[in-house]
Copies of this chain bind each other. A is one copy, B any other.
């Protein structure tokens, strides 16, 4: 372990490929990742039917706060759940105040809008929530991964591996990304 920590929050309907790519690649980068279930530690039924058992409930996982990074995957069901959670709002608000990383992909950035996080920053997302982000005053980009200070966003399952590598780069640097990419057989 590098000593760096990340909290990935998942709920029913979260996109499994986006969730697993972030978790897997962060762990390859030696980041200490906690996968937490929004409502409980019970198994999560993801958007394409993969069932993932979280490491802990979110309430248990918050005992280890602060994390260096909080990751909100996409998948409409899970994204909506995170976007309407008061606990997530509290965590993201503290995370932003502390100048620590917030990362989200696909429909995940819905939570930024609803919780009033990182207003005006440069973001991307799945096109399905582009207009909502623009209307809420974010500077919208169609880049596959967008890094604006400590906010990292990306587009969808097809950019999930690039997103995972960007998270490792933010926490551990380019050399660790290179050491992770080789064995993964990236182009």
| A interface residues with partner B (beta carbon < 8 Å) | 15-17, 20-21, 23-25, 27-28, 33, 35, 43, 48-53, 55, 106, 126-127, 144, 155-159, 161, 181, 183-187
Contact = CB atoms under 8 A, between A and B. Distances in A.
A53 B54 CA distance: 11
Contacts of A28: 48
* Interface pairs A-B: 4 shortest CB-CB: A156-B185, A158-B186, A158-B184, A51-B53
Contacts of A33: 49
Nearest to A183: B156
Copy number of this protein in the oligomer?
A: 2
13 contacts: A15-B24, A16-B24, A17-B161, A24-B50, A24-B157, A28-B48, A51-B52, A106-B185, A127-B185, A144-B185, A155-B185, A156-B184, A159-B186
Contact of A158 (B16, B126, B127, B185): B185
A153 to B, nearest CB: 12
B16 A20 contact: yes
